[in-house]
Structure 1
Amino acid sequence: MNVDLLLTEAKVFNVYLKEWMVADVAIHQGRILFVGKSSGLELSAHKILSCQKYLLVPGFIDIHMHIESSFLSPRRFAEAVLPHGTTTVVSEPHEMANVFGIEGVREMIKAGEGAAIDIYYGVPSSVPSTNSDVEGTGGVIDLHELKTLMEEEPKIVCLGEVMNYIDLVQMKEGRARNFTNFMRKNYPFRAIEGHVPQIEGFDLAKVLFAGVDSDHCLQTPSGIKARAEAGMFIEIQEKSITPENMAILNNQNMDGRFALVTDDVSPDTLLKKGHIDHLIRKAVKAGLRFESAILAATRSPAERIGFRDRGAIAPGRIADFVMLNQQSSTDISINQVIKGGNLEISEKETSLQEKKFFSLPFYTSINKLSCKENLFSIKAPSEKKIQYCRIIVKNKINTFTKEDHQPIPVQKGRLAWQKRDLNLVTVCNRYGSQVCAQGLIGGTIIREGAFCSSYAHDHHNILLVGDNPNDMEFLFSWLQKGSGGIAFASKGAIVAELSLPVAGLLSEAPPHEVAKRSEAIREALLRHGFEHPNPIMSLCTVTLPVSPSLKITDKGLVDTSKGEIVSLFVN
């Protein structure tokens, strides 16, 4: 028999036996035909590649991520991650759905056709992430949209993360429970992805009872153990890769019960550090067994999401491989990536330079807003010279916040917040309602400048944060002139900017260009005092009302533990 490609004498990782074996791998019509010793077999090949110097592992699979977080269009994202060994992703496009609803999901699927990797999708289950009383969005995904997408889109493989876990904990009837009930009844073998931050015990049990049986949020050793005991699948993103967490994964022999996922990756991090390959390196360095890390990027995510055709180097599977340089059995140094039996490491994307993949409305998604005086100042509720205010306290590590109460002086009927070590934050609805809200940020803050973004989790209204009204007003005008983007300004001038013309979320420019501009914004924030490993995402999640503990939307400050709007002012 004559096959398309024969890889000879590779050191192949068998994900079922968790063993390395020297073998030949025959590939035919994009799939694996045979793994073993080919000598003596009636086997010839159009092309033979000697792999004696390489380790051969399955292509990496990321089952919990959001393409929009890279600011790249789907095909541009694929172009960026394939050289890092990622051959399959499951993207949950709730960013685009918050702007355009079901048409946003469909447009993302359409825009990903012909990509260099396989892109599958989860139905966004939390659009909006809470409800219309807490945040304003441009689109809504309800039970009708869920049914439609599950029935009509073959690229849909799961229910995306159920972010409104508070309703599940409180056993409330509503959209979250309607979605999980629908999936359990009609699609019992499809995964229901979860967003379950920092809860254990009875509350965790109630989330599992609803059908949500995975969690990708920040993990701790006790949280991992509690989730493992309850049968919950654990998804480890970068911020959860610690020596303590890796030790419990090793000690409890949890292979097959967890996967490495990226969730949100900025374009500059993606190009400089990598994708799933970066998480493997970091996990191994933190103490996770090398073979366990490979399993967590291949077989484990494949089995979690129900992929029966990938995640292993075995007959019948798709011929997705990562060839690692055999410098060290505990290192990830990628020599070549094979996708579907194709030796090309990535498709030629030069033709995408000028091509647009989205329909016209996606390039005109931001309604013009009037710049009112109260956008960048806060009126005091009384004539008192001191007002006690709720403060959103940001930390230097993750995207969680804390609530603090601080006395703020009043001058001429307005809060003199600049006399304190604080930033002003303003969120404006961009979908036509002209609703705006203001708050105050403490902890790690911007100094001598301001930041703006039309990408603001998850409603993606207009976000402005700064230490002075002048730069904030300047950035507000900058946003009004374009179709969306992210920028940093200081002393009335743009320091760094990234245009995001597709829904105010994505760029269709080449990955290296987007990465360069994103990195410039990151560096500007760091130079101006905002200390954080991912400063852009830290600021863009100050608007996320389902992540602890005090956030802000266009409707006002949100106590995320209660899912309610609370006043800026306290007695």
Structure 2
Amino acid sequence: MTASGGIASWADSAARLVAVAAGRMPADLVVRGGRWVNVYSGEIIPGTDVAVAAGRFAFVGPSATHAIGPDTQVIEAEGRFLVPGLCDAHMHVESGMVTATEFARAVIPHGTTTMFVDPHEIANVLGLPGVRLLHDEAMTLPVNMFVQMPGCVPSAPGLEQAGAAIGPAEVAEAMGWPNIIGLGEMMNFPGVVAGDPAMLGEIAATQRAGKVVGGHYASPDLGLPFHAYAAGGPADDHEGTRPEDAVARVRQGMRAMLRLGSAWYDVAAQVRAVTEGGLDPRNVVLCTDDSHSGTLVEDGHMDRVVRHAIAQGLRPVTAIQMATLNTAQHFGLERELGSIAPGRRADLFLSSDLARLPVEVVIGRGVVLARDGALAVEVPPYAYPASARDTVRLGRAVRAVDFSVPAPAGVESVACNVIGVVENQAPTRALVRRLPCRNGRVEADAAQDVCHVAVVERHRGTGTVSNGFVSGFGYTGSCAVASTVAHDSHHVLVVGTSREAMAAAVNRLAEVGGGICVMRDGRELALVELPIAGLMSDERAEVVARKAGRLVAAMAECGCGLNNAVMQHSLLALVVIPELRISDIGLVDVRRFQPVPVVLGA
């Protein structure tokens, strides 16, 4: 069986739904004898049957015998829980290193039937046409993938140069597309706080269209800047890391989005605002933000997030509400999604344990999509055009000397600004380390866990290389890791202990059209090819996950012990999250939003 996208509207289905509920027509599908997880009432209701017609719930009650005809498919729930299909409130497909189709294939068996995706990664490479590519692909899927129009391309104008630019005119145009649900995360929070006309213009265009504005306030300051940001219109925020962050957002009328991605573990701290502080959970939603392909295939998706939230002390029904009804209400889709109730899209899964949440049968739009962790339908691959490929344009092959930081004359060591990686969190620390100098260059220092880091411009072939230093990866020996996944402008980002290894890794990515490469002692340890915009593979998710597994092992072989170091690596250039980052224009202090020198002085 082949699954395809699309579902008739409620208006076009209403007559049949009413007829099935009244017993005048048979249902397409009936699930019998389940325990109904009712996210409206907070109850678990045993002995419940569900009847489905035209891809929507027609009847939910104690017996659907009246809806069973000769051609009705009947599934025996056998007392298992009937759980609404899970919703990811904020995520980036590109972080999985796969296409939207492959992402869906990976997460459907985990009970995810709705995603709200912000494709600002591909937007930074290909601009508005790239957003349209992913938008159109999403509409072919057998599950719900709504697209948020990226609003911060580049994320920090003046501090980085992306491959494209998006402004109010592009946002206004996209608001008329059929699958655009709102504006993506407004990462340029200093611009909003300062009243930047472009940022406020994008927000205004979204609100005029009656759609949701995504937030991104990546600062611990809950004083006047936070209040100014809230006044700017964002309806949600996923950058909180503390209980007080969740409280502040909800009090200002935002939804607090708590994320558990491959590298971001922000649920445990913030959910205490609910479990210990008594915060009303109706305005709290769960999301992943960024999920590595290995995480998707091996550990799960929103089912993983819900299980984790339950483990932190949430009632199972409350955790499920945060990943279903709360999300649907936030995006104005309560009558379409987020619950098992008449008229809604027939998205649910069967589970035998509400705390462990095994996902045993997944139904999307009334079709059985997966059983026991395996897809039950074919989801055909999506063909990306040639215009989305060959996007790594260096202009020239890089050399080892390109990765040099000049040292002041006649000194043996200098004080330097160094990016400090914080495990399992997006923020970095601004460190100062004294580094040795040799032959007129500042050197990395393994004894202090300090490596070289550089950004190589790859959109226009300018040959520009900006250099700095980073601490926290633990690399030893002669090694380098290079990636064209470098949030958000996605130049080539390389970290290494050896300039020669750095050059080899960067040039290798230019050969294959983008990806992630690990070099050690003159040989290639791992390579994940990402030919679509330098961000996504055109291979199956399982294949990419295996390659990503080898990548993680190779990084560990180089001495890295960080959890999900790939994600930590990719965010070193994200110049909208404090404290210190590197972009194609140099080192950036994100606390003050201004460039800073690498070398402070002798």
* TM class, shorter-length: over 0.9
Partner of 1:322: 349
Cα distance in 1 for residues equivalent to 2:63 and 2:247: 44
Q: Secondary structure at the match of 1:344?
A: strand
Residue 199 of structure 1: CA displacement? 3.0
Partner of 2:225: 203
Cα distance in 2 for residues equivalent to 1:40 and 1:109: 40
Contact map agreement 2:87 2:113 (CA 8 A) in 1: yes
User: Which residue, 504, 516, 520 being the options, matches 1:474?
Assistant: 504
Identical residues among aligned pairs (%)? 29
Contact map agreement 2:424 2:563 (CA 8 A) in 1: yes
Q: Does 1:414 align with 2:441?
A: yes
Residue 229 of structure 1: CA displacement? 2.1
User: Which residue, 248, 251, 255 being the options, matches 1:229?
Assistant: 251
Partner of 2:52: 27
Change (3 A) 1:550 1:254: same
Q: Secondary structure at the match of 1:389?
A: strand
Cα distance in 1 for residues equivalent to 2:256 and 2:446: 45
Residue 446 of structure 1: CA displacement? 2.0
Change (3 A) 1:569 1:321: same
Residue 76 of structure 1: CA displacement? 0.8
Partner of 1:176: 199
Change (3 A) 1:215 1:393: same
Q: Does 1:194 align with 2:215?
A: yes
Change (3 A) 1:320 1:410: same
What is the CA deviation profile of residues 70-89 of structure 1, one whole-angstrom value per residue up to 9, with x for unaligned ones? 00111111111100000111
**Letter aligned with residue 513 of structure 2:** S
Cα distance in 2 for residues equivalent to 1:48 and 1:485: 46
Contact map agreement 1:89 1:118 (CA 8 A) in 2: yes
Q: Does 1:423 align with 2:446?
A: no
Change (3 A) 1:178 1:383: farther
Partner of 2:404: 377
**Letter aligned with residue 90 of structure 1:** F
Cα distance in 2 for residues equivalent to 1:562 and 1:531: 31
Cα distance in 1 for residues equivalent to 2:423 and 2:288: 20
User: Which residue, 150, 153, 156 being the options, matches 1:130?
Assistant: 156
Cα distance in 2 for residues equivalent to 1:429 and 1:542: 15
What is the root-mean-square deviation in Å for CA atoms of aligned residues?
1.8
Q: Secondary structure at the match of 2:28?
A: strand
Change (3 A) 1:493 1:12: same
Change (3 A) 1:401 1:140: same
Partner of 1:165: 189
Q: Does 1:436 align with 2:436?
A: no
Contact map agreement 1:375 1:426 (CA 8 A) in 2: no
Residue 509 of structure 1: CA displacement? 0.6
Cα distance in 2 for residues equivalent to 1:564 and 1:365: 28
Greater Cα shift, 535-544 or 214-223: 214-223
What is the CA deviation profile of residues 206-248 of structure 1, one whole-angstrom value per residue up to 9, with x for unaligned ones? 1110001311114211212222222221111113455543332
Contact map agreement 2:483 2:570 (CA 8 A) in 1: yes
**Letter aligned with residue 457 of structure 2:** N
Contact map agreement 1:84 1:274 (CA 8 A) in 2: yes
Could you state the TM-score of these two structures normalised by the residue count of structure 2? 0.90
Could you state the TM-score of these two structures normalised by the residue count of structure 1? 0.94
Change (3 A) 1:375 1:425: same
**Letter aligned with residue 455 of structure 2:** V
**Letter aligned with residue 510 of structure 2:** Q
Greater Cα shift, 247-256 or 63-72: 247-256
Partner of 1:56: 82
Residue 296 of structure 1: CA displacement? 0.7
Change (3 A) 1:5 1:471: same
Q: Does 1:107 align with 2:133?
A: yes
Partner of 1:269: 295
Contact map agreement 2:390 2:513 (CA 8 A) in 1: yes
User: Which residue, 104, 111, 115 being the options, matches 1:78?
Assistant: 104
Cα distance in 1 for residues equivalent to 2:74 and 2:412: 81
Cα distance in 1 for residues equivalent to 2:160 and 2:332: 34
Cα distance in 2 for residues equivalent to 1:68 and 1:396: 21
Partner of 1:335: 360
Q: Secondary structure at the match of 1:2?
A: coil
Cα distance in 1 for residues equivalent to 2:376 and 2:99: 15
Change (3 A) 1:474 1:35: same
Cα distance in 1 for residues equivalent to 2:103 and 2:285: 21
Q: Secondary structure at the match of 2:360?
A: strand
**Letter aligned with residue 287 of structure 1:** G
Cα distance in 2 for residues equivalent to 1:40 and 1:481: 62
What is the CA deviation profile of residues 127-155 of structure 1, one whole-angstrom value per residue up to 9, with x for unaligned ones? 00001x2112111111111011112x110
Cα distance in 1 for residues equivalent to 2:403 and 2:169: 40
Partner of 1:522: 552
Q: Does 1:4 align with 2:4?
A: no
Structure 1, unpaired ranges of 5+: none
Within-5 A mapping of 1:253-268: 253-268=279-294
Greater Cα shift, 288-297 or 109-118: 109-118
Greater Cα shift, 215-224 or 233-242: 233-242
**Letter aligned with residue 560 of structure 1:** V
Cα distance in 1 for residues equivalent to 2:53 and 2:380: 29
Partner of 1:393: 420
Residue 21 of structure 1: CA displacement? 1.1
Cα distance in 2 for residues equivalent to 1:455 and 1:501: 11
Contact map agreement 1:369 1:480 (CA 8 A) in 2: no
Cα distance in 1 for residues equivalent to 2:89 and 2:414: 47
Contact map agreement 2:30 2:68 (CA 8 A) in 1: no
Cα distance in 2 for residues equivalent to 1:525 and 1:379: 28
What is the CA deviation profile of residues 175-232 of structure 1, one whole-angstrom value per residue up to 9, with x for unaligned ones? 2222123333x13x42111111223132221111000131111421121222222222
Residue 492 of structure 1: CA displacement? 0.7
Q: Secondary structure at the match of 1:404?
A: strand
**Letter aligned with residue 425 of structure 1:** V
Residue 40 of structure 1: CA displacement? 7.5
User: Which residue, 535, 538, 545 being the options, matches 1:508?
Assistant: 538
Partner of 1:249: 274
User: Which residue, 504, 529, 534 being the options, matches 1:499?
Assistant: 529
Change (3 A) 1:242 1:361: closer
Residue 69 of structure 1: CA displacement? 0.2
Cα distance in 2 for residues equivalent to 1:144 and 1:369: 31
Cα distance in 2 for residues equivalent to 1:76 and 1:193: 25
Q: Secondary structure at the match of 1:317?
A: coil
Cα distance in 1 for residues equivalent to 2:145 and 2:488: 21
Residue 539 of structure 1: CA displacement? 0.6
Residue 9 of structure 1: CA displacement? 1.6
Cα distance in 2 for residues equivalent to 1:503 and 1:472: 21
Change (3 A) 1:28 1:493: same
